[in-house]
Amino acid sequence: MVLPVMALGVSTWPLVDGIERLPGPVTVVRRCLDLTELLAAARAGLGRAALVAEGAEDLTASLLEQIRLGGAALLVLEGHDHRRLAGLGAVVVPEHATPEDAARLVEEAVAAAAGAPTTVGYADVVAAGRADAAAGADPGGLEDLGGAEPSGPRGAGRIVAVWGPTGAPGRTTVAVNLAAEIALLGQDTALLDADTYGPSVAAALGMLDEAAGLAQACRLADQGRLDGAALRRTAADVAVAGRTVRVLTGLTRQDRWPELRSSAVAAVLERSVQEFGTTVVDCGFALEADEELTVDTMAPRRHAAALTVLERADVVVAVGAADTIGVPRLVKGLPDVAAAAPGARLVVVVNKLRRSAAGRSPELGIREAWARFGAGPAVELFVPWDPETFDEALLAGAVLAETAAGSAGRAAFRTLAGRVLADAGEAEAEGDPLVHGTRLGGRIGAWLRR
């Protein structure tokens, strides 16, 4: 068996020369001039291992993922940002290693990689953050942002993804109000905007300073520098109804979506749960699988952030609008959500419930449509259509608990928070009775049969 190695950086050359003279399986196939060449070689599957020195400092978690997806293990020469890279899973080759030592380490790294997952996991990225903290490294060059390291609610909380189909059914409204109500129930709460198409959490909360907190946190995670202190510096503490919600705002420009890479989003999520507690995420509408058809499987995908959130969610709140367009969209999207979030409890919310769009008995109409065509979980909650109240809150950049504490909409969000925090099984949804004859039920039935 041959173990081809790609090398990067002049400091690797003496070792590489020595390895070339050795008998045995380890052989050098490429001396790369820069990181771009190394990545191209790795992506082409030329090597089973990459030994890096100069240039190592530019390796991020997502670049490392590309190297691993190409089938190569990473080794770094001591003294070349090796602590950070070790935290991301690289094997460190001691500065004074002999070619024999290096060859042995290559063999061990390849053997270990064969049994390891191919993506950089959260544990790797967080471990890198810890390694950095231990080494006194500056987390992402953000030291000027200041702040001491208070202790977070470690181990507490869960990930709550708020999803809904296209057509503005009220995902952001639900996410923002749900986070506020969870905080009001006494839980430490974070709110993340991972909508790569129409981020609007900051606007909904009246935040003027849009710092693209989630993208910042992702960048740190990608560099292996996302420790607890760094995450707290990227989050904005927003006072909501007397409680504090930690907010990581969304992208400020839509063309920045490639910054929300899957591995980085996963690391931010896990870190957020660890540091901040229950983490509510507005994840937009996109689940389309057609991007999977792309030839370049390593290219970033715009819906990767949403998929990553769903994949890791403990609870998915699926929001649909209560009309003849919104309900079928919700029904049709739910199987994809269930597939994307296999471990999650699904809580279905129908928003904007109104007689003008769903008939004289709007709830009955939706329940009929659901019972006849909506396979999967029952509708757990209806939120009434109340434009005056919701517009007022939006204008104030506030949640209903602040501007309309006694409203029916607010009561619905408080109930939702209770359901989300309840353990599976506790939150029994009412079964959908099989009712017949509502206008909406008939219309939606016709739509779904198309």
Ligand X SMILES: Nc1ncnc2c1ncn2[C@@H]1O[C@H](COP(=O)(O)OP(=O)(O)OP(=O)(O)O)[C@@H](O)[C@H]1O
Nearest to 402 by CA among 172, 248, 175, 181: 181
> Toward Mg ion, which CB reaches closer, 35 or 202?
202
Q: Which of 14, 387, 433, 437 binds ligand X (CB under 6 A)?
A: 387
Q: Which segments of 149-258 does DSSP mark as H helices, in order?
A: 171-184, 201-204, 213-222, 228-234
Q: Which segments of 137-261 does DSSP mark as H helices, in order?
A: 171-184, 201-204, 213-222, 228-234
Number of neighbours of residue 130 by Cβ within 10 angstroms: 15
| 200 forms part of the interface with ligand X (CB under 6 A) | yes
| 30 forms part of the interface with ligand X (CB under 6 A) | no
- The C-alpha atoms of residue 67 and residue 119 are separated, in whole angstroms, by 10
- The C-alpha atoms of residue 126 and residue 267 are separated, in whole angstroms, by 7
CB of 438 to ligand X, least distance (A): 20
Binding partner of residue 351 among ligand X, Mg ion, none, CB cut-off 5 to 8 Å per kind: ligand X
Q: Is 75 left (phi over 0), alpha (psi -120 to 50) or beta?
A: beta
CB of 59 to Mg ion, least distance (A): 35
Binding partner of residue 409 among ligand X, Mg ion, none, CB cut-off 5 to 8 Å per kind: ligand X
Nearest to 201 by CA among 169, 242, 238: 238
CB of 318 to ligand X, least distance (A): 11
The strand pairing partners of 30, in sequence order, are 6
| 198 forms part of the interface with ligand X (CB under 6 A) | yes
Find tokens 């002049």 and name the residue.
10
- Locate 393 and state its tokens: 């809150």
CB of 198 to Mg ion, least distance (A): 5
| 407 forms part of the interface with ligand X (CB under 6 A) | no
Binding partner of residue 173 among Mg ion, ligand X, none, CB cut-off 5 to 8 Å per kind: ligand X
> Toward ligand X, which CB reaches closer, 80 or 352?
352
Residues lying near Mg ion in the complex (CB under 5 A) are found at: 171-172, 200
- The C-alpha atoms of residue 259 and residue 300 are separated, in whole angstroms, by 9
CA 46 to chain centre: 31
- Judge whether 345 and 366 are in contact, CB under 8 Å: no
Nearest to 91 by CA among 110, 79, 109: 109
Binding partner of residue 390 among Mg ion, ligand X, none, CB cut-off 5 to 8 Å per kind: ligand X
- Locate 449 and state its tokens: 């049969």
**Candidates 184-192, 333-341, 364-372, 379-387; binding stretch for ligand X (CB under 6 A):** 379-387
Binding partner of residue 387 among Mg ion, ligand X, none, CB cut-off 5 to 8 Å per kind: ligand X
CB of 113 to Mg ion, least distance (A): 40
Binding partner of residue 41 among ligand X, Mg ion, none, CB cut-off 5 to 8 Å per kind: none
DSSP-derived pairing of the beta strands 243-248 and 189-193: parallel
Q: Which of 107, 193, 368, 386 binds ligand X (CB under 6 A)?
A: 386
> Toward Mg ion, which CB reaches closer, 122 or 285?
285
Site string for ligand X, 152-171 (x = CB under 6 A): ------------x---xxxx
> Toward ligand X, which CB reaches closer, 53 or 201?
201
# residues contacting ligand X (CB under 6 A): 19
Which amino acid is located at 127 in the chain? A
CB of 195 to Mg ion, least distance (A): 5
Torsion sign over Cα 214, 281, 412, 185: negative
Site for ligand X in 337-366 (CB under 6 A): 351-352
The CA–CA distances, whole Å, from 81 to 9, 30, 131, 337 equal: 13, 22, 11, 40
> Toward ligand X, which CB reaches closer, 43 or 354?
354
CB of 170 to Mg ion, least distance (A): 8
> Toward ligand X, which CB reaches closer, 153 or 198?
198
> Toward ligand X, which CB reaches closer, 122 or 390?
390
| 195 forms part of the interface with ligand X (CB under 6 A) | yes
Site string for ligand X, 106-145 (x = CB under 6 A): ----------------------------------------
| 173 forms part of the interface with ligand X (CB under 6 A) | yes
CB of 235 to Mg ion, least distance (A): 19
Angle at 166 between CA 449 and CA 402, to 5 degrees: 125
DSSP state of 297: T
- The C-alpha atoms of residue 134 and residue 130 are separated, in whole angstroms, by 6
Q: Which segments of 115-165 does DSSP mark as H helices, in order?
A: 122-134
Chain positions contacting ligand X, by CB under 6 A: 164, 168-173, 195, 198, 200, 351-352, 383, 385-387, 390, 394, 409
